[in-house]
Amino acid sequence: MALLQTVYSPFSSLFSSHFVFVLMGGAVAFLVTYLLTFGVIAWCRRAGWLDRPTVERRRLHKKAVPRLGGVAMFLSFVLVSLVVYATNLSQDVQQGDELVRYWLLLAACTLIVIVHTYDDIKGLKPLPKLIAQTVAVVIVLGPFAGHFHGTFFFGFSNPFFHHNNLPWYSESILTLFIHNTAITWLAIPAILLTWFWIAGMMNTVNLIDGSDGLATGVVGLTGLFITIISWTLDQYSIAILSAIFTGAVLGFLPHNWHPAKVFMGDSGSQFLGLGLAVLSIIGGAKVALALMLLGIPILDVAVVMIGRIRRGQSPLHFDLNHLHHRLLATGLTVQQICYVFYSFTFLFGVLALFLSRIYKLLGLGLVGITMIALFIWIDYRQRHGGLPAVLDDDPLPKPPAAQDGNDDECPITPKQHFS
């Protein structure tokens, strides 16, 4: 009997009510998004809200495609989380702070989706979109009554904790001048860090939404690993919310897979970036995970912008030097590009689950080495294929079965979307 209990105990939590809610929340959100997307497609076609093919170099897809898929993901996340997450969390008085963070997240997401839905339909200049992002961050922070009551990135896990032969080993959390959520002048660096992390994540997701299924799959996998690590840290309510977010994202993938029947638009990519940024902060121990899983897209954005500056261009200048553009130029198909990104995201996610504090730094180093190796391989393929090293705003050579679509880049300038 003792032996049976020993064998059973590691699996007993799998059948707990928490695990049922994780599974149910993810599965229901997947189904709701999948079904809602049909309605969004029909709605966009009836209203004429389509991304139409043109002779413009940045919009070369061959047929009109709806581009408000982000609305379906957002509505699914809201509806399912209200029923599965908020209803159960409100019954636990001890989870009051987490419930406040949830409502603030919903308010910020609502603002972002409304602003960028208008942008997808009518178009907005960069400044209003940047202002919307900043206001969303303020909402997420929840500054009232002398404290930040929302999601506040003022510290992160110390990778050197418990390593007595290394500096800074005595503190488990490293903070920026402050040790609580009080609103003071000393909180300004932490506020800026929170803004940089959330706005940066929103724009990173937006930038990788340049190929059918790319951003959807990468964000979905990242959300899945956030769910898993939340569960292993016994943060069951956060695991439920992450599972709902993951299901809402992956439910869109069948519609967004090549050839895409619908694009997520800025309304989708900005919502996904905001949700991912907040989920990686709350509960702690997930920022390093997000950095590992999204390390290649983040480094890609940095490398491209540095390259533009070195060529005397604005860092916001439009060109075709993002990693997915270069991979397409090597002859890979749209699906193969997705598989490359998915594989690295999954690999680094599994690695992050097994790496402890200090070893996550080695994992981040491995991400950087992988990025360098990718660029070396791409450069080799480009040079042997007779392609230019810098792909400005000329059309890319299209491999067989690859067509072009369009979506918007970060809140600054449009990008090319391969559909």
- pLDDT per residue as tens digits for the range 245-255: 999 999 999 99
Nearest C-alpha neighbor of 346 from the set 293, 295, 296, 299? 293
- Residue 379 contacts residue 101 (beta carbons within 8 Å): no
Looking at residue 6, its pLDDT comes to 39
Residue 205: alpha-carbon gap to chain centroid: 5
Query: Which structural domain, as residue segments, surrounds residue 183?
Result: 15-49+67-417
| 352 within a domain of the structure (yes/no) | yes
Beta strands in 7-93 (DSSP E): 50-51, 65-66
> Would 195 be classed as within a structural domain?
yes
Q: Tens of pLDDT along 324-367?
A: 888 888 888 999 999 999 999 999 989 888 877 667 778 888 88
pLDDT of residue 64: 85
Compute the CA torsion angle 295, 298, 304, 306 (nearest 10 deg). -100
| 251: Cβ contacts below 8 Å, ≥ 6 apart | 29, 30, 31, 32, 33, 34, 37, 72, 73, 76
Distances (CA, A) of 33 to 74, 121, 250: 8, 21, 8
Overall domain count for the chain: 1
Residue 286 · residue 64 · CB < 8 Å: no
Residue 9 lies inside a defined structural domain of this protein: no
Report yes or no: 379 and 295 within 8 Å, Cβ to Cβ.
no
Residue 55, domain member (yes or no): no
Residue 107 is predicted with a pLDDT of 97
Q: Is 294 helix (H, G, I), strand (E, B) or coil?
A: coil
**Which regions in the chain score pLDDT beneath 70?**
1-16, 53-62, 90-96, 156-174, 283-285, 314-319, 357-358, 385-419
| pLDDT score, position 166 | 55
CA-angle at 132, arms to 130 and 137, nearest 5°: 95
**End-to-end Cα spacing for the chain:** 58
Looking at residue 315, what DSSP letter applies?
T
Whether residue 58 is contained in a domain is answered as no
303 in a structural domain = yes
Which residues on adjacent β-strands are paired with residue 157? Answer: 173
What global pTM score does this model have? Answer: 0.85
- Which pLDDT score, from 0 to 100, does residue 294 have? 87
pLDDT of residue 261: 94
Residue labelled with tokens 């439920």? 240
Question: Is residue 5 situated within a structural domain?
Answer: no
- Measured over the CA atoms of residue 372, residue 375, residue 377 and residue 379, the dihedral's sign is negative
Establish if 57 belongs to a structural domain.
no
